[in-house]
Structure 1
């Protein structure tokens, strides 16, 4: 599955919104098919299941579901392919994937909720702004 990420290329300009949406769907499917392999490569079984990681990918893709400009969609697909390629090439380390996809903002808020009970408001704001 990982080799598929290296072969897929985003077109420079999608001819239409339909073509851009089709490419987005293909990219999303490729990401979800690759998730079990990434969980194995980065030893994430102790932190997150493949299904939860697929859910995190779904959230990331749906963040931009309201975009209707094909050129902007192409740019977002390019950035997504870059992110996927960085994972394939091990340009990212395990903690990068854990922080962005496995734990995310919700996990950080839960973690901070337990650890910073005695912290000042300044430190709470600092953590909430600087971690994501």
Structure 2
């Protein structure tokens, strides 16, 4: 059996914090440009507006705004690019996108109160912390 792996070109590490910051902005622009395609691939027009997805991407980036080590920023950026590639290559299903980026963690926690009426406290905590 023969395998062919797709060659993923990993960019060199950022030399400075400023360079890493520019790479993050470039990623944000690329992600925002991908949103119309993502909405078409996953048929999200009836569920969410493009502006909401842009704000979700921005919130995910802002979540790590306190990181100042360029190597850590590069690693986070690599993971973000990999996630974006998985989404645009249709490696996820529609409910993954809706659960992770449309409804989000807060909406899912609100739903757990009605669904877990008979569940133990352990299971309720497990569902809260391990949905993603």
Fold conserved between structures, TM > 0.5: yes
Matched, 1:100 2:63: no
* Cα pair 1:20 1:70 within 8 Å, conserved: yes
CA shift for structure 1 position 127:
1.5
TM-score by length of 2: 0.84
Any stretches of 5+ residues in structure 2 without a counterpart? 1-8
Contiguous gaps of at least 5 residues in structure 1: 1-8
Whole-angstrom distance in 2 between the partners of 1:109 and 1:83: 23
| C-alpha displacement of 1:10 | 5.7
Give the TM-score, by structure 1 length: 0.84
Greater relative contact order, per chain length (Cα 8 Å cut-off, separation 6+): 1
Partner of 1:91: 91
* 1:42–1:94 Cα contact (<8 Å) kept: yes
1:62 is aligned to 62
Comparing 31-40 with 20-29, greater Cα deviation is found at: 31-40
Taking only aligned residues, the RMSD between alpha carbons, in angstroms, comes to 1.7
Q: Give the number of equivalent residue pairs.
A: 124
Residues 11-50 of structure 1 mapped to structure 2, 5 A cutoff: 11-50=11-50
